[in-house]
Amino acid sequence: MALPEKAYEIWYHIEKWPFGVLSFVTAGGESRSAGVMYKVKDRVIYVLTGWDTWKAKHIQSNPNVSMTVTIQRLPIRVRQMPPAVITFSGHATVLDLSEVDPEIRNELTRGIDDMPDTCAIKIEPKGKFVTYGIGIPMMEMRHPERALARVPVA
């Protein structure tokens, strides 16, 4: 499926930047978040975690998640200039490592084959990306009405 031009740029940044904040909901309805390293394949995000982690347990109960990726645009931080941000909702599934594409599994585990207490979280973005500062000159970020965008995921 062809994507809007802006969506290609967003995916470029998501694929290039390997860290994000994954938010999920506990069985009691409380929000939680965790910083995660991830890999992307075919517009799906994969995170390595343990079967006994809060992430895995809560996502098994409620697959609705949100993820935020910050994009630092300069090698040094400019005072009063936040990083660019991409955030989106998604559907998450906890998978046994044997269910993950071998290429992605190898990247996630860095080639370690024996990880019995480990699983992967597969995150499929849905709805729209909400962005701040993506695809605009840095100085335009001072104007939120110009810096904000909503772009269909697919």
Q: Given this model, what pLDDT does residue 145 score?
A: 84
pLDDT, tens digit, for every residue of 22-81? 999 988 888 999 999 999 999 999 999 999 999 999 999 999 999 999 987 665 555 666
The domain in which residue 140 lies consists of: 5-152
d(CA 106, CA 18): 15
**Domain CATH for 119:** 2.30.110.10
Domain count, the chain: 1
* Number of residues that make up the chain: 154
Q: Reduced to 3 states, what is the DSSP secondary structure of residue 18?
A: coil
d(CA 81, CA 129): 21
pLDDT, tens digit, for every residue of 99-151? 999 898 888 888 777 777 999 999 999 999 999 888 888 778 778 888 888 99
Q: For 97, which DSSP code?
A: G
